[in-house]
Chains A and B, each alone.
Chain A
């Protein structure tokens, strides 16, 4: 199993970006996926999750209305669209595979993509 995130970088407050996570080594469409972030020196914060077929999506209250999770099962890719960036969105964003189709613990993690929000 391998998860490789991309799309991070330095963005200004109010800006947008899209994170991608390319998965390999397992049948991507059979598993739920999530994004988890970790601010500088902070703990883990679950941000968003999506079921195996993409029909169910879930968001933390802190990002609801600004983040959109999606997946392309034909390309084995998970996405996170982030809009109206805020300083507090600065974090490493991890892509994580869940152990089941609709939920479950996070059994594999990517190395993370760093997002820095600053003017």
Chain B
């Protein structure tokens, strides 16, 4: 099983800033990594696949990078609607595990 570790658990930033999240895999997952955003009371929203390919309708302010075991998600010019919990997930091998999430708060 590929374990994913996200850091930090919580990130406090101000609107307008740029933030970067980290996701580390216990073994290589090539570029088979996705990112999701979840707001309270809502299902997760698919943001990025293949480590860096934005899903349809996802603005360019969201960007992903990495391969192998180290991955990052960057969000530029934070707005109020960006404050949420962000999860990474590997789909390189079953089980398709999730990271524990990073909460982005104001």
Contact = CB atoms under 8 A, between A and B. Distances in A.
Nearest to B6: A43
Contacts, number: 61
Interface of A: 34, 36, 43-46, 49, 58-61, 94, 98-99, 103-112
Interface in B69-102: 85, 87, 89, 91, 94-101
Contact of A108 (B46, B49, B101): B46
A60 B3 CA distance: 13
B106 interface: no
B59 interface: no
B34 interface: yes
B97 A46 contact: yes
A98 B89 CA distance: 12
A109 B43 contact: yes
A105 B34 contact: yes
10 closest pairs, A vs B, by CB? Answer: A105-B34, A109-B43, A58-B94, A105-B49, A44-B98, A43-B101, A107-B46, A43-B100, A46-B96, A60-B95
Contact of B95 (A43, A58, A109, A112): A58
Contacts of A111: 43
B55 interface: yes
A107 B98 CA distance: 15
A7 to B, nearest CB: 17
Contact of A112 (B1, B34, B43, B99): B43
A43 B96 contact: no
Contacts of A43: 85, 87, 98-101
Given A44-B101, A105-B89, A107-B55, A49 B94 contact: yes
